[in-house]
Amino acid sequence: MEGLMERFLRYVAVDTQANFESEACPSTAGQLDLARMLEKELQELGLADVTLDDYGYVMARLPKNTDKDVPAIGFLAHLDTAAEFNGKQIKPQLVYAYNGDDIVLNEGLGITFSPSSYPNLSNYIGKTLVLTDGTTLLGVDDKAGIAEIMTAMDYLMRHPEILHGEIMVAFSPDEEIGRGPLLFDVEKFGAQFAYTLDGGPLGEFQYENFNAASAVITFKGNNIHPGHAKDIMVSALDRAMEFHGCLPKFQQPQYTSGYEGYYHLMNFNGDVEAARLVYYIRDFCKTGFEARKSYMKKVAEELGKSYGADQVKLDIKDVYYNMRQLMVEGSPLLEIPLSAMKNLGISPVITPIRGGTDGAQLSYKGLLTPNLFIGGENFHGKYEFAALEDMEMAAWVIVEIAKLYESL
Q: What is the pLDDT of residues 226-240, one digit of tens each?
A: 999 999 999 999 999
262: pLDDT strictly greater than 90: yes
Mean pLDDT confidence for 331-351: 98
383: pLDDT strictly greater than 70: yes
- Based on the residue annotation, tell me whether 310 is a catalytic residue of this protein: no
Mean pLDDT confidence for 333-362: 94
* Confidence (pLDDT) at 166: 98
Alpha carbon of 114 to those of 120, 275, 304, 376, 388: distances in Å?
10, 38, 47, 16, 19
pLDDT-based confidence at 309, cuts 50/70/90?
confident
Strand intervals (E) in 96-210: 103-106, 111-113, 129-131, 167-172, 193-197, 204-206
- Based on the residue annotation, tell me whether 142 is a catalytic residue of this protein: no
Mean pLDDT confidence for 203-214: 96
Query: Which helix or strand (DSSP H or E) is residue 216 part of?
Result: strand 211-220
**What proportion of the chain, given as a percentage, has pLDDT over 70?**
100
184: pLDDT strictly greater than 90: yes
195: pLDDT strictly greater than 80: yes
Mean pLDDT confidence for 167-190: 95
* Confidence (pLDDT) at 329: 93
356: pLDDT strictly greater than 80: no
2: pLDDT strictly greater than 80: no
Mean pLDDT confidence for 58-82: 97
* Confidence (pLDDT) at 84: 87
87: pLDDT strictly greater than 70: yes
Query: What order do you get walking across the sheet with 376-377 strand by strand?
Result: 93-95, 129-131, 385-387, 376-377
CA distance 246 to 329: 40
What secondary structure letter does DSSP report for 19?
-
Mean pLDDT confidence for 42-62: 98
Peptide bond into 26 cis (omega under 30): yes
Average pLDDT value over all residues in the chain: 96
357: pLDDT strictly greater than 90: no
Amino acid in position 314: L
pTM: 0.89
Query: What order do you get walking across the sheet with 371-372 strand by strand?
Result: 48-52, 58-62, 167-172, 73-78, 193-197, 371-372, 204-206, 349-350
pLDDT-based confidence at 20, cuts 50/70/90?
confident
* Confidence (pLDDT) at 1: 62
What secondary structure letter does DSSP report for 191?
-
63: pLDDT strictly greater than 90: yes
- Rounded (to 5) percent helix, strand, coil in the chain: 35, 25, 40
Catalytic residue among 15, 41, 80, 283: 80
Strand intervals (E) in 69-192: 73-78, 93-95, 103-106, 111-113, 129-131, 167-172
Catalytic residue among 41, 141, 174, 175: 175
* Confidence (pLDDT) at 178: 85
